[in-house]
Amino acid sequence: MSKISMMFQIVSLLQTNYILNATELAEILETTPRNIKAYIEALRMSGVPIEGMTGRNGGYFLSEVYELKPPKLSESEYNALLLAEEILTKENGFHHEKEIKTAFAKIKSAQGEIIGNSDLVFESENVFTRGNTDISDKVKRYLSIIRKAIFANKSLSITYSNPTRKQLTVRKIDPYNLIYRNSSWYVIGHCHLRGEIRMFKLARIKEIKTLDEKFHVRKDFSISSYMRNTLDLINTGKEYIVEIRFFHPASVWISEKYWLPTQKIVWLEDDSIIFKARVNGLVDITRWILAYGHLARVLKPKELVDRVKNEIEAMRDNYEKEYNEDKVRNH
């Protein structure tokens, strides 16, 4: 523990205890009484009203009510604090969720009004992610610009790259929320080009500019409702009831995790399961199903069955095309 941290601890202890001597403080802080006396003297010189009382029951105490003001967190540090809180309290089976929430609440209240957290929504499936994230200098700069725009209710102009269509589009958006999920940042809000709520990945934004135009969040919009039945991030607004059969051992993997608030799992005699849930859109769940290969089979709806079949056909065509090209090259 650093000298500064030790001194903060001493003041905190004296605030919660009427009187403590050097030996008692040393035992609590795992240092020597000599060091404690040096820290006390340094605190006195900095203006902390610590008095000493000799005798059998003597020790150090605060001579008047003294408020130890915590160091202010920067905006980025506060964001990190919010993210850590969200990750810890969303981990299923974490036994100290209540204590974590109250501890973070105390820290945040001590910081005062740094910035409201209504503009941040953290969705993280993996607490310790491996691989690269998109937190580049560019994304960090965009985060700051977008957060300020959300706070001030100001529209943004963005130049956005669509990887599917390989094109750039200039869009005016009203930013509602920032979302962190799967190691990437997204902004969600009203897209004036499409006339609906859309989500944009910050790493795909090429240019961004804050406009002098004010906006109001749509009254029918709720971030929790919007994300409720979204397996990953793509929400088309259309709701589907899906049924998927997962065979062993994928049935075990699926049953061990909470995927969607509407999910229901029915076990069958062959150790397979029927997974039922309500989802918004089919893009994300199609990718999810394909990740389990031959261990997953879609039962309903037919539209999802067709989507998965088409993806499998496209994958097979890719391999056949590559195989035929290799034969021509080697002929």
Cα 194 from chain centroid (whole Å): 27
Distances, alpha carbon 31 to alpha carbons 1, 22, 39, in Å = 10, 10, 11
Structure tokens at 302: 């037919």
Q: Report the C-alpha dihedral over residues 277, 279, 282, 283, rounded to 10 degrees.
A: -110
- Which CATH code, of 3.40.50.720, 3.30.70.360, 3.40.30.120, 1.10.10.10, is assigned to 3-62? 1.10.10.10
Element (H, E) at 307: helix 302-330
pLDDT score of 295:
96
DSSP state of 31: S
d(CA 142, CA 185): 10
For residues 176 and 189, is the Cβ–Cβ distance under 8 A? Answer: yes
pLDDT score of 177:
86
d(CA 159, CA 154): 17
Encode pLDDT of 321-330 as tens digits.
776 766 666 6
pLDDT score of 71:
62
The residue ranges of DSSP E strands in 195-263, in sequence order, are 196-201, 205-214, 239-246
d(CA 186, CA 294): 32
Of 260, 245, 258, 230, give the one whose Cα is nearest residue 292: 245
Place of tokens 């941040």: 120
Pick out the chain residues at pLDDT < 50. Answer: 92, 113-134
pLDDT score of 130:
33
| pTM recorded for the entire structure | 0.50
d(CA 170, CA 62): 61
Q: What architecture does CATH give domain 137-228?
A: Roll (2.30)
Instruction: With H, G, I as helix, E, B as strand and everything else as coil, classify residue 285.
Output: helix
pLDDT score of 123:
43
Q: Is it true that 3-62 and 137-228 share their CATH fold?
A: no
Q: Please count the helices (runs of H) and the strands (runs of E) in the chain.
A: 10, 12
pLDDT score of 116:
40
pLDDT score of 127:
31
d(CA 254, CA 228): 19
CATH of domain 239-315: 3.30.70
| ∠ CA 14-18-23, rounded to 5° | 65
Counting Cβ atoms within 10 Å, is residue 247 exposed (0-12), middle (13-18) or buried (19+)? middle
Domain map of the chain by residue range?
Answer: 3-62, 75-117, 137-228, 239-315
